[in-house]
């Protein structure tokens, strides 16, 4: 065993008692909500919660985008019938707010801004720390809204959604993890019992069916009987130019910039697809500055392009002058969630059935 593994193992056991305490606190909190000693608000509008048991990096935004596309691109016409609501992590504002043309990552957060720039005005995008009052305001202001997608709301027990979609990273299954701080869980594993379905994200696109059964069995030890488990991966599109908004025909050498909770799958894809000169990693929800732009410019030697994520693009683009945007080779990499095999059709039927039961 290497010194690093010994150090990690010692640290785990040192932190384990704190994990027990943290897990106990979350157990008590969940019990109070389960017994309705703490009130939970049931919206009058069909609501879907997208969340996880772990801290960050399970693909909540691609899942939310999938649900948006499922409705907006096939059903919704005229006035928006779909709304998204999130806390707006990292924003410098407080309270309830609807996204508009003048908003930035500083006013609504990077992920809500990404959704607004991609889907507005066909979808209404809202942020608000207190979800229950926020939902009530949405319902009162926009009676035409027929569904509300709640981003990262699995632990937000003050709202009782009609459908709880629990995400699990294929590379970091919750059933082998532990509560914070010894592990990455926000609550104990049995919190999965609140899930109406589990979507295993970031799977290899060519994952054999035979490899999914052991995962289903492991997940089922913590979920309610009959809770379906679906499998999905990530599909990266062609890089899109900051300057033109058009896909690039060809990129070869790139410097990757990312501010993600889990950037390893992205780096692996970029290494396989392009000549990766460097990967500049930041913590999730990085607040970029002009000094970051200056350091990126120095890294872009002739023939090398900067490649980043959509979430990072909406923040970096706001810092650029028109001249810089036109002169520099800057691109973002679109990503979308894709279900494996027939799981897409099965998941769509599951969501449709849930919405019909609500009606």
Q: What is the pLDDT of residues 295-346, one digit of tens each?
A: 888 888 889 999 999 999 999 999 999 999 999 999 999 999 999 999 999 9
Q: What is the pLDDT of residues 265-274, one digit of tens each?
A: 899 999 999 9
Same domain, 303 and 243: yes
In a domain, 29, yes or no: no
Same domain, 273 and 212: no
Distances from the Cα of 356 to the Cα of 41, 75, 170, 283, angstroms: 20, 15, 30, 40
Q: What is the pLDDT of residues 139-163, one digit of tens each?
A: 999 999 999 999 999 999 999 999 9
In a domain, 99, yes or no: yes
Same domain, 59 and 158: yes
- For 323-328, the CB contacts below 8 A with 24+ separation are 324/293, 324/297, 325/242, 325/243, 326/243, 328/242, 328/297, 328/300
pLDDT computed for residue 41 by the predictor: 96
Same domain, 54 and 150: yes
Q: What is the pLDDT of residues 43-85, one digit of tens each?
A: 999 999 999 999 878 899 999 999 999 887 555 555 789 999 9
* Domain enclosing residue 149, as ranges: 46-234+339-358
Q: What is the mean pLDDT of the chain?
A: 92
pLDDT computed for residue 291 by the predictor: 93
pLDDT computed for residue 73 by the predictor: 59
Count of domains observed in the chain: 2
User: What radius of gyration, in Å, describes the C-alpha atoms of the chain?
Assistant: 21
* Angle between the N-to-C axes of helices 343-358 and 60-72, in degrees from 0 to 180, rounded to the nearest 10: 70
Same domain, 207 and 165: yes
Same domain, 195 and 110: yes
pLDDT computed for residue 177 by the predictor: 95
Query: Is the confidence at residue 1, as pLDDT, over 80?
Result: no
Q: Using CA atoms, how far apart are residues 37 and 110, in angstroms rounded to an integer?
A: 35
pLDDT computed for residue 143 by the predictor: 94
User: What CATH number did the domain enclosing 308 receive?
Assistant: 3.40.50
Give the model's confidence band at 261: pLDDT under 50 very low, under 70 low, under 90 confident, else very high: confident
The mean pLDDT of 84-107, rounded to a whole number, is 95
Distances from the Cα of 56 to the Cα of 26, 51, 167, 196, 276, angstroms: 18, 9, 10, 20, 25
pLDDT computed for residue 6 by the predictor: 59
pLDDT computed for residue 75 by the predictor: 54
Q: Using CA atoms, how far apart are residues 244 and 226, in angstroms rounded to an integer?
A: 48
């Amino acid at each position: 065993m290497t010194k690093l593994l010994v150090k990690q193992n010692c640290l785990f056991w040192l932190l384990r008692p704190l994990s027990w305490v943290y897990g106990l606190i979350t157990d008590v909190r969940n019990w109070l909500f389960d017994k309705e000693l703490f009130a939970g608000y049931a919206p009058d509008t069909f609501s879907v919660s997208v969340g996880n048991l772990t801290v960050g990096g399970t693909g909540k935004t691609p899942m939310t985008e999938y649900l948006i596309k499922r409705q907006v691109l096939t059903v919704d016409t005229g006035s928006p019938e779909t709304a998204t609501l999130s806390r707006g992590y990292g924003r410098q504002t407080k309270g309830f707010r609807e996204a508009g043309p003048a908003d930035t990552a500083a006013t609504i957060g990077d992920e809500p801004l990404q959704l607004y720039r991609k889907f507005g005005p066909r979808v209404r995008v809202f942020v608000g720390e207190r979800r229950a009052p926020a939902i009530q305001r949405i319902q009162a202001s926009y009676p035409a809204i027929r569904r509300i997608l709640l981003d990262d709301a699995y632990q937000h027990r003050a709202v009782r959604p009609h459908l709880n979609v629990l995400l699990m990273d294929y590379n970091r299954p919750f059933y082998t993890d532990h509560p914070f701080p010894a592990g990455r869980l926000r609550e104990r594993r049995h919190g999965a019992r609140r899930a109406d379905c589990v979507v295993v994200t970031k799977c290899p696109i060519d994952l054999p069916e035979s490899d999914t059964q052991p995962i289903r069995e492991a997940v089922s030890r913590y979920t309610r009987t009959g809770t379906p488990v679906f499998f999905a991966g990530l599909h990266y599109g062609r890089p899109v130019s900051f300057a033109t908004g058009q896909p690039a025909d060809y990129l070869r050498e790139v410097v990757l910039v990312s501010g993600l909770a889990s950037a390893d799958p992205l780096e692996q894809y970029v290494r396989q697809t392009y000549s990766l000169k460097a990967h500049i990693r930041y913590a999730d929800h990085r607040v970029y500055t002009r000094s970051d732009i200056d350091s990126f410019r120095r890294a872009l030697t002739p023939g090398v392009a900067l490649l980043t994520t959509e979430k990072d693009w909406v923040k970096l683009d706001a810092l650029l002058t028109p001249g810089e945007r036109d002169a520099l080779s800057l691109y973002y990499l679109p990503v979308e969630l894709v279900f494996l095999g027939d799981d897409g059709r099965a998941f769509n039927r599951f969501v449709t059935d849930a919405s019909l039961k609500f009606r």
